[in-house]
Structure 1
């Protein structure tokens, strides 16, 4: 290979790797500095925690994740975005499932979903999808519950306001993980609370009782245990 041809090949490789992919500075809404190209991504802003993955009757996996398209700009705060996929390579965007700053909640943070298959919510159909999530408010972290009857595309508030609230504006009381306990026939909820994971149960999905915790100190159980 002649030296001239070698330079041409080197130039082509340089163009492929350095010129054809324009880089946007980190910190802007459309930055692609940390972009990955093989799975679902968003066009701008912040993409954060996956909330839940569940499968529908047609074989699609539904995924909720936190996103803030206006990260560090006006109208800041995350909300739940929704996509579905069958192969975890190709994704169909279904938009915002749980929007921020609506229905008496603020920005929508981490949570989880369950199906109403066991009719724990007696006034909702079995096909309903129930979402629990934290919202950060001026008076503290609060838990909300909402439901969907259109296969998880849109959600309506199940309760008129928060179902659980932190003891103070600064207390950690967030990120509910919920599941239906087949043995007790109740919903169990785990909450991140400072140096413990609080454990709660509910007969109706709305009113929860504290039953104990996994702890890092002896005082966090408040006289209760899980045995």
Structure 2
């Protein structure tokens, strides 16, 4: 058996003050700060995660999207309507700034539309704020979108609302089982069905869809190649993946979405990047907001979320905030993502080595002395003439027996994450969730040269790997043993060339 898991809280990720968190809610900038909400369950039962009450919205703010200040629950679960009817717990939705006062709550009111579920019935309710998102009032006419066919329509959730300037109306993307429904409104209160997007109609089975996201980006930062993106939380098991964030590029005509290709792409190849939300920087000139945007996801997976060895009285965290762009790879517009530049100030002065050989012996690379549980590794590795290694392997959070391994396979041109001997999680989970947790995760990254660059962000119990400036990413939770802090760099066989290696800790 492995030893006890460290109870150290992550240093540079959003975590709840206690109990449980899951889906992040799309942030916005207002009153000189960023506002982020996430689903929070103060009644989470660590002994029986399936018990306890539902979720509500918890509020945090930041100036840089790295350091966040907690403000507590802002939309409470089980609030009654004006008629005294309890609509249920507060689930995923989205908030918009109603600059033109279309809803009648005042110019620049924050309007949140979210799913409330009571007695298994999912409906959409509206809450509004006139103090920059610090307090919310339930709309007296809730639900603004009653379930149209109870109980035969159990999946009716996760509204994502945007303003479509081309058609001068609000647009909502809503998860409805294997379908994304699109709705339109002039006032955020009354909604009309416009169309539906069903991947299964084209033979693509992604299971139950959740947490849709609809937005625009410029391909290659070229405004003449502006395109629409539809992203969803999806199940990738039919495609050799786990649950994650799938996306399509395509066209939106004000009423319906048409993808370029019905087969989706994926924002992250790791096991723990779900319920993703994205947002633009409204401080920028309008024309510049489509070059890139930000994204954040929930780092967990429903295949084993109720079986993880949570510690320290809290459960769950968000991913790093990422900058996402669309670039052409081959002939396909592809999402790339890297951590936002603000994280640079999180880490101290790095220590580096360069021009080394990597072998199966960890001592060969002569890595600098390293310690701590939260750090970033930036490394470049080549397979040069005479190099006969196939894989570079970076073993993080090791204690001599247990470790997590990330690396790159030059033969199959893919990045990988291996955590089947990471520590506590290895011994703690039942068989079925453990199989999902232990599965090796990969993402294809073909190389234009013989060199690969890996950026590895470790924060006590998570790792996020970005390859070749974000052309692929792998994100996963890890549960290392207490005191597991060694880092080793080796090959699977033979040797490879370590061009550079920099380590910087928090």
**Alignment TM-score, normalising by the size of structure 1:** 0.76
Deviations 1:132-174 (A, max 9, x none): 1001111511100110001101111123321113312352100
Aligned ranges 1:61-210 → 2 under 5 Å: 61-72=34-45, 76-103=53-80, 104-121=86-103, 123-138=104-119, 140-166=121-147, 167-169=149-151, 171-210=154-193
Judge conservation of contact 1:120–1:186 (CA < 8 Å) in 2.
Answer: no
Judge conservation of contact 2:182–2:195 (CA < 8 Å) in 1.
Answer: yes
* Structure of higher RCO (CA pairs closer than 8 Å, 6+ residues apart): 2
Counterpart CA distance in 2 for 1:86 and 1:202 is 32
Distance apart, 1:79 and its partner CA: 0.4
Distance apart, 1:44 and its partner CA: 2.0
Q: Does 1:226 align with 2:200?
A: no
Counterpart CA distance in 1 for 2:90 and 2:192 is 23
What is the DSSP-based 3-state SS (H/G/I as helix, E as strand, rest coil) of the residue aligned with 2:35? Answer: strand
Counterpart CA distance in 1 for 2:136 and 2:52 is 21
What is the DSSP-based 3-state SS (H/G/I as helix, E as strand, rest coil) of the residue aligned with 1:197? Answer: strand
> How many residues align structurally?
192
Aligned position for 2:24: 50
Counterpart CA distance in 2 for 1:205 and 1:113 is 11
Counterpart CA distance in 1 for 2:165 and 2:155 is 29
Q: Runs of 5+ in structure 1 lacking a partner?
A: 1-17, 25-31, 220-224
Q: Runs of 5+ in structure 2 lacking a partner?
A: 81-85, 203-254, 258-506
Counterpart CA distance in 1 for 2:17 and 2:30 is 27
* Runs (4+) off by over 6 Å: none
Deviations 1:67-111 (A, max 9, x none): 112113775111000010112332211111111011333110000
What is the DSSP-based 3-state SS (H/G/I as helix, E as strand, rest coil) of the residue aligned with 1:76? Answer: coil
Judge conservation of contact 1:165–1:173 (CA < 8 Å) in 2.
Answer: no
Counterpart CA distance in 2 for 1:193 and 1:71 is 27
Counterpart CA distance in 2 for 1:177 and 1:151 is 19
More displaced, 144-153 or 102-111? 102-111
Q: CA RMSD in A?
A: 2.4
Judge conservation of contact 2:101–2:108 (CA < 8 Å) in 1.
Answer: no
Distance apart, 1:217 and its partner CA: 4.4
**Alignment TM-score, normalising by the size of structure 2:** 0.36
More displaced, 66-75 or 139-148? 66-75
